[in-house]
Chains A and B, each alone.
Chain A
Amino acid sequence: MTHGLNWIRALVVMIALVVACAPAMTRQAGAQEAGAQAVNPTAMSVQADDLLQQEGKLQGYLAQPDPKLAILEQPQGRLWRAFHESWLPWGSGILILAVVLLLGGVYLLKGPIQADEVSGIKILRFNVFERFTHWLTAISFIILALSGINYIFGKRYLLPLIGPEAFGTLSQWGKYAHNYLAWPFMLGVLFMIVVWVKDNVPQRGVDWAWLKAGGGMFNNTHPSAGRFNAGQKLIFWWVALAGIVMSVTGIMLLFPFAAFGVNGMQITQVVHSVVGFLFIAVIIFHIYIGTLGMEGAYDAMGNGEVDVAWARAHHDLWVEDQLRK
């Protein structure tokens, strides 16, 4: 009995199953038929050039574990090339030449700013650590700047002079210098921010007046200034900000693809080189003022001491402050 019942139950289930599946099965067979007719490789075929135009670049799946190689084609490389081989050398070349010519002109026409004030009494302007910080940053900066310039102008001017082998060796050393001296430079910028930020906070009244008087450049007066005048403060803030930008982009270039893909690396490089050349232009100006452009200024960073009379003329508020202590 039970056996017979089970048998009937199984039969019912089977019939139900067949009934339920039949429409699905016919549907599938139909789909296969239609599919066979619809296989039209031309319609399905991707068109390489269209795809590139739509997406701006081509990328896909790659068996090797290297995401940057999954990009099949990135024509953006051509734009970066245009920047690197034409806009950058022309722009930076004109900028640097213009700054040098301008300063040369000022020097020839106006000559250095005289330091007539001599009292014979010295006052300490920068202590040993401040001078160490300054020269650490300055020396590494100059080598970074020269090796950086070599990346762009070396092959244009130096290579024809010394030949490809010598230039290759020199550039290899330049690259090591750039890669390793970047660290003392970053340290220097950091120290500099720490030791000088308190003297560089803008003071609205004094700094505005100084800037309005053009620093006294044109009428040979000495507008009031604290430890740093408004011009020096501008240089300080520029070095701090540009120093940070150069450090961040530089580290990105040192550890390529750690944070960005190839297009990100291109942009990083553009920022690094553009800010780098602006930095060089500003520092050429700074070096001019500190050496040729103004008598008496160099001593402050040389042996750290300046004449009290000079200090009174250029940094009156600071001298008063020092004497009060």
Chain B
Amino acid sequence: MKTMIVREYHDFFLPDSYILDLSDQKIKGCTGCWTCWWKTPGRCIHHDLDFFYHHYITSEKVSFYLTVSQGFVSGNLKTLFDRMIPLFLPYTNYASGESMHDKRYDRYPDIEIHYYDTFLDAAEKKIFEDYLQRTFYQFHSKNISLIGEMRDVRP
């Protein structure tokens, strides 16, 4: 099974898997220019994520290892999410009862999210988990799982 790892912590790797290490790569920001929808369909003006896009879309599973920042996803990870808009079409469908962008690719990977649990309370944790569930549901991933890891798990 082809797997990709996106990590903000942990240093292990899987043989033959592509790793996006967010702890040492700052993702270039989405400029909101819409070139990826209007001018070069599906293609971002930046090229720092070309490998990521390829591996994301061709993997069966993507495992995320995330740190919690100010009670939410980090700014760098949020920037990565913003930059994922080229993987979808501008057209919107409402079949699920809410607005959702159409797929650009035939299939999207299953998602497994490990996070380093530093929440102040259960309510913060719920917002974080609900947000990630929603994001990957809207990114057309069928199976999404979240696993909180406690402090002593961190290397």
A-B interaction: no
Q: Which residues of A contact B (CB under 8 A)?
A: none
**Residues on B close to A: CB < 8 A?**
none
